Structure 1
Amino acid sequence: MAAEPTRRALILGALALGGCARVERVRQPLRFTVVNDRLLLDGVITRRSARGFEGVLAQNPQIATLVFQRVEGGRHLEDVLRLGTLIRSSGLTTALRSDSVVRGGGVDLFVAGVARRMVAGAVIDPSSRADPARRAYLRAMLGSDDFYRFTLRNPAAGGIQGMSIEDITRLGLLTEPVQELN
């Protein structure tokens, strides 16, 4: 609790200086919340994410679906690839709700699901990072290099609105048609 007033004081001080200091949103490490047979993921993938995921899965063998809320990759690609490999080897489904936002490594993690589904309105904003390990991982998850090459050719394809449903479908990011809101 003592750190919170200090952070608030720093932000207020920065604002009082007329915007001379840059204030950024605090990015929280990936959090896991179990709801019946679903595991909700929210936050930034870190070095501890894979270990945390393994622990949650061990204590909750009923988990069948990972629901991505707001998930993005962290600084290290290997953290995303390790967690993605665990997801695939666990045979889990990944899902996006209408208010889900996945960015960068969060998209690479989403495609690790054996089955992948999304509700219209979700935002998929992929990384444009060129890396041989990422290329091999995406090929293993999706069966081709199409998505990887797309991200390199279209680095601004995501953005605020995310990828188009046509591109998401064409590139094989989903295993089921997009569910429309009723």
Structure 2
Amino acid sequence: MKMICRLFIFLAASLLGLNHSISLADDYDPLTFTPRGDTLIVEGVIDDRAIESFIVAINENPNVNSLTLKYVPGSVDDDYNLILSRVVRSMGLGTIIPEGGMVASGGTDLFLAGVWRKVSTNACIGVHSWDYEEDGHIIQATDFPKNDPVHQMYLRYFRDMGIPPAFYWYTLDAAPAADMHWMHKSELKKFNMVTGRDALPNLGKDYYCDQL
């Protein structure tokens, strides 16, 4: 499994044109994976170290069948985030947001990687648009027409995870990149974000999620 995962990561990174030696700021807590029974408790921000940390944790805990996303507020690089998410899906793992847990932005993308997905009471699931700076100007996702190739990386990912393309366009409109929209139970159902037939729980309220 280790060799297969490393090959998958290498090929994916090569296709995306990534540089594994890029320098990242250290003012956040990087993603950690802590074993607990047959799951890994996941906390922190997704960066270029997350994939290696994940593979180490899986190799040391081969009985793991899920990731419990306790607190994953986002990522610092969308490319690495989607590579990690695709590796999680390729391994057939489920994803769980525990009671009071929080995922947002790239953390929500990681949640959608689960072959089965479970959400608990008072969980917070945040989405927003993306942007980047170019020559001193902030470029918004909504500055590009819907047929622009810049959207395709995300649309392919959601399609491959079994999530309708409408979810991506919804995230762009839900909140600007500097803000966050906390999803409601009806939205989880609309976009097929939770698997199984269990009744959907009540999610965390905005004022609660904003404080996490």
Give the TM-score category using the shorter length: 0.7 to 0.9
Partners of 1:49 and 1:83 within 8 A in 2:
yes
Classify the secondary structure of the residue corresponding to 1:99. Answer: coil
For residues 127-138 of structure 1, the aligned pairs below 5 Å read 127-129=128-130, 130=141, 131-138=151-158
Give the corresponding residue for 2:207: none
Give the corresponding residue for 2:185: 165
Give the corresponding residue for 2:144: none
Give the corresponding residue for 1:141: 161
- Aligned residue pair count: 154
Query: Between Structure 1 and Structure 2, whose CA radius of gyration is higher?
Result: 1
- Offset, 1:152: 1.7
Classify the secondary structure of the residue corresponding to 1:121. Answer: coil
Deviations 1:39-96 (A, max 9, x none): 0000000101011101111111100111001102222101110110010001001001
Partners of 1:95 and 1:117 within 8 A in 2:
yes
Query: Residue 60 of structure 1 aligns to which amino acid in structure 2?
Result: N
Query: Residue 151 of structure 1 aligns to which amino acid in structure 2?
Result: T
How many angstroms apart in 2 are the aligned matches of 1:168 and 1:180? 11
Partners of 2:185 and 2:201 within 8 A in 1:
no
Give the corresponding residue for 1:90: 91
Q: Is structure 2 residue 79 aligned with structure 1 residue 59?
A: no
How many angstroms apart in 2 are the aligned matches of 1:174 and 1:148? 16
Q: Is structure 2 residue 136 aligned with structure 1 residue 116?
A: no
Give the corresponding residue for 1:36: 37
How many angstroms apart in 2 are the aligned matches of 1:159 and 1:143? 20
Classify the secondary structure of the residue corresponding to 1:112. Answer: coil
- Offset, 1:179: 4.4
How many angstroms apart in 2 are the aligned matches of 1:154 and 1:139? 19
- Offset, 1:143: 4.2
Partners of 2:66 and 2:94 within 8 A in 1:
yes
Structure 1 runs (4+) deviating above 3 angstroms are none
- Offset, 1:149: 1.6
Query: Residue 69 of structure 1 aligns to which amino acid in structure 2?
Result: K
- TM-score normalised by length of structure 2: 0.68
How many angstroms apart in 1 are the aligned matches of 2:188 and 2:201? 13
Q: Is structure 2 residue 194 aligned with structure 1 residue 174?
A: yes
Query: Residue 157 of structure 2 aligns to which amino acid in structure 1?
Result: Y
> Can you give the 5+ residue segments of structure 1 that lack an aligned partner in the other structure?
1-25
Partners of 2:45 and 2:76 within 8 A in 1:
no
Classify the secondary structure of the residue corresponding to 1:44. Answer: coil
Structure 2 CA distance for partners of 1:179 and 1:54, relative to 1, 3 Å: same
Give the corresponding residue for 1:151: 171
How many angstroms apart in 2 are the aligned matches of 1:28 and 1:104? 16
Partners of 1:108 and 1:126 within 8 A in 2:
no
Moved more, 52-61 or 136-145: 136-145
Partners of 1:68 and 1:100 within 8 A in 2:
yes
- Offset, 1:127: 3.3
How many angstroms apart in 1 are the aligned matches of 2:61 and 2:169? 37
> Can you give the 5+ residue segments of structure 2 that lack an aligned partner in the other structure?
1-26, 131-140, 142-150, 204-212
